[in-house]
């Protein structure tokens, strides 16, 4: 294909179109009649883009067929983004010269040498196995502790396991996971599923092969693993400190439950979409940190969204090198190419521009909406997180369409833009004279 970067947006656009038409079928709705176009479009986009934002209550508005359809769309979106992003990564590597390909192959623990069929099977297999394990744990918990019938326990567990691993965020409970805020057997498996899906297949593949030898990890894996750990610890600490005494969130809970709630919410903040406390009652400081974590997102070639952990950390290393006056950006004895640095800057600045534009559009189209609430919903949509302070269902249709566009662009944009830039690198035989304009 002449323009392989177009594969992802076109494939997701086709999936959203088909999903919207299916969600408009009368059989998909619990009540008589079909769902309005915008409601169906919003739900299908949110499912395919594994976001989890909803304009209606999933359990009461949609029929069993509709819920199963949402599950299928989330699964298609999750597997689709992981396989397509991984395969495009392989394509980018193979577009390099021979020396570049050899370096890339050494840096990726052999993933680049894998065939397409093998990559697809590994991606789908890893997701399905993780979903099966989580489903089994949740089924036993719902049946043995909460007394749900076996059939209902299995159905709800499978639904939420798929949402968890694919970072979907849809829930069959109006309050998401708040009813399970102190239940370790519900919150921990779902949180681990979100972490598993948000790491990214290339990193999972390399960790599986080299987990005992961190010294052999590629720069990408190091950035993803240590970046995820740093953001997780930092987000957990911030949430615990800022919300510890808030009577509407953690204030009335026991110490162990506070720790569990902070851990769960920290994991879900960067992509999961579930919430175990009422987000509308968070303190302003917590909301600000949550916005930042959502914007950063998870790993590349994963079911997570945002600008990606590697992009964020790479920019941090660029700044650090500039402050120290270093001519090169070096990470663990590896010099980062200038093309990669420009790619990271481009993705980050485009993300900022989209969030800023979307927030202004939401404020303009919605009477009485507070700026911080609008910023939260827009960031959640762009980063395909799915968290909400509760204003999304009450937004006018034009504002909901803005969120639809942001979910779509946020899901496919970073992959498409990153691939297009990498494949469009030009080698000129001449360079213009250098000049330094004033900066700062």
Backbone angles phi, psi at 334, to 5 degrees: -125, 125
Q: Give the tokens for residue 415.
A: 């992959």
* Residues pairing with 341 in the sheet: none
**Residues 353, 336: Cα–Cα separation, whole Å:** 25
**Residues 8, 198: Cα–Cα separation, whole Å:** 18
413 closest CA partner among 367, 330, 353: 353
Q: How crowded is residue 76: how many other Cβ atoms within 10 Å of its Cβ?
A: 19
Q: Give the tokens for residue 136.
A: 């089994």
- Asked if the structure places residue 432 within a domain, the reply is no
- Asked if the structure places residue 77 within a domain, the reply is yes
- Asked if the structure places residue 229 within a domain, the reply is yes
DSSP 111: G
3-state secondary structure of 26: helix
Residues 6+ apart with CB under 8 A from 297: 198, 270, 271, 304, 305, 306, 307, 308, 309, 383, 384, 385
Q: Does the CA dihedral 277-278-284-290 come out positive or negative?
A: positive
Predicted local distance difference test score (pLDDT) of residue 184 = 96
Find the angle CA(86)-CA(92)-CA(94) to the nearest 5 degrees: 105
**Residues 201, 212: Cα–Cα separation, whole Å:** 18
What secondary structure does DSSP assign to 379-395, as a single string?
HHHHTT-----S-GGGS
Alpha helices, DSSP H, located in 95-115: 98-107
- Asked if the structure places residue 435 within a domain, the reply is no
178 closest CA partner among 248, 60, 275: 275
Find the helix or strand (DSSP H, E) in which 431 lies.
Answer: none
DSSP 334: E
Tally of domains within the chain:
1
Q: Give the tokens for residue 403.
A: 């969120």
79 closest CA partner among 132, 27, 126, 118: 126
Predicted local distance difference test score (pLDDT) of residue 78 = 87
3-state secondary structure of 29: strand
- 188: containing domain: 4-423
Predicted local distance difference test score (pLDDT) of residue 419 = 58
Residues 6+ apart with CB under 8 A from 86: 111, 119, 123, 201, 202, 301
- Asked if the structure places residue 439 within a domain, the reply is no
From its phi and psi, is residue 308 left (phi > 0), alpha (psi between -120 and 50) or beta? left
**Residues 312, 355: Cα–Cα separation, whole Å:** 16
**Residues 164, 188: Cα–Cα separation, whole Å:** 11
Q: Give the tokens for residue 157.
A: 């567990």
- Asked if the structure places residue 431 within a domain, the reply is no
Q: Give the tokens for residue 47.
A: 């499912």
Q: Which residue has the tokens 């489903």?
A: 135
- Asked if the structure places residue 383 within a domain, the reply is yes
3-state secondary structure of 330: strand
* Residues pairing with 335 in the sheet: 330
Predicted local distance difference test score (pLDDT) of residue 323 = 92
Q: Are 278 and 248 in contact (CB under 8 A)?
A: yes
Q: Does the CA dihedral 209-213-216-218 come out positive or negative?
A: positive
**Residues 305, 389: Cα–Cα separation, whole Å:** 19
**Residues 148, 141: Cα–Cα separation, whole Å:** 9
DSSP 269: I
Predicted local distance difference test score (pLDDT) of residue 99 = 41
Q: Give the tokens for residue 143.
A: 């049946």
- Asked if the structure places residue 438 within a domain, the reply is no
Q: Give the tokens for residue 110.
A: 């052999």
Predicted local distance difference test score (pLDDT) of residue 141 = 97
**Mean pLDDT per 10-residue segment, the chain (440 residues):** 65 93 96 95 95 94 96 90 67 47 40 60 88 97 96 97 94 93 96 93 84 84 92 94 94 94 92 90 93 92 88 94 91 86 89 96 93 95 92 94 94 67 61 75
47 closest CA partner among 21, 69, 25, 79: 69
């Amino acid at each position: 294909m002449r323009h392989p970067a177009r594969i992802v947006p076109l494939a997701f656009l086709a999936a959203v179109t088909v999903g919207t038409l299916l969600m408009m079928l009368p059989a998909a709705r619990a009540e008589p009649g079909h769902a309005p176009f915008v409601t169906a479009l919003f739900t299908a986009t949110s499912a395919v883009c594994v976001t989890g934002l909803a304009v209606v209550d999933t359990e009461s508005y949609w029929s069993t067929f509709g819920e199963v359809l949402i599950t299928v769309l989330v699964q298609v979106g999750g597997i689709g983004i992981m396989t397509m992003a991984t395969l495009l990564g392989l394509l980018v590597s193979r577009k390099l010269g021979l020396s570049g390909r050899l370096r890339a192959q050494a840096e990726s623990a052999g993933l680049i040498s894998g065939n397409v069929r093998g990559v697809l099977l590994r991606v789908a297999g890893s997701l399905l196995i993780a979903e099966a394990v989580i489903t089994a744990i949740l089924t036993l918990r719902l049946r043995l502790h909460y007394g749900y019938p076996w059939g209902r326990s299995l159905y709800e567990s499978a639904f939420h396991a798929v949402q968890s691993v694919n970072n979907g965020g849809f829930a069959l409970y109006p309050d998401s996971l708040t009813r399970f805020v102190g239940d370790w057997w519900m919150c921990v498996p779902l949180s681990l599923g979100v972490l598993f899906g948000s790491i990214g297949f290339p990193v999972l593949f390399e960790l599986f092969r080299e987990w005992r030898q961190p010294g052999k990890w590629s720069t990408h894996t190091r950035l993803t693993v240590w970046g995820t750990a740093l953001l997780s610890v930092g987000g957990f600490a911030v949430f615990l400190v800022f919300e510890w005494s808030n009577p509407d969130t953690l204030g009335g809970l026991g110490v162990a439950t506070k720790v569990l709630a902070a851990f769960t919410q920290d994991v879900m903040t960067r992509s999961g979409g579930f919430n175990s406390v009422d987000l509308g009652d968070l303190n302003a400081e917590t909301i600000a940190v949550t916005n930042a974590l959502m914007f950063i997102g998870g790993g590349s070639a994963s079911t997570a969204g945002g600008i990606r952990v590697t992009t964020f950390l790479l920019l941090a290393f660029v700044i650090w090198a500039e402050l120290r006056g270093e001519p090169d950006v070096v990470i663990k004895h590896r010099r980062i190419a200038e093309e990669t640095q420009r790619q990271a800057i481009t993705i980050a600045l485009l993300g900022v521009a989209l969030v800023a534009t979307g927030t202004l559009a939401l404020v303009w189209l919605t009477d009485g909406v507070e700026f911080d609430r609008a910023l939260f919903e827009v960031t959640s949509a762009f980063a395909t997180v799915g968290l909400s302070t509760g204003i999304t269902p009450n937004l006018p249709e034009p504002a909901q369409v803005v969120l639809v566009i942001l979910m779509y662009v946020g899901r496919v944009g970073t992959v498409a833009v990153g691939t297009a830039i990498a494949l469009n690198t030009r080698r000129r035989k001449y360079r213009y004279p250098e000049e330094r304009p004033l900066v700062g």
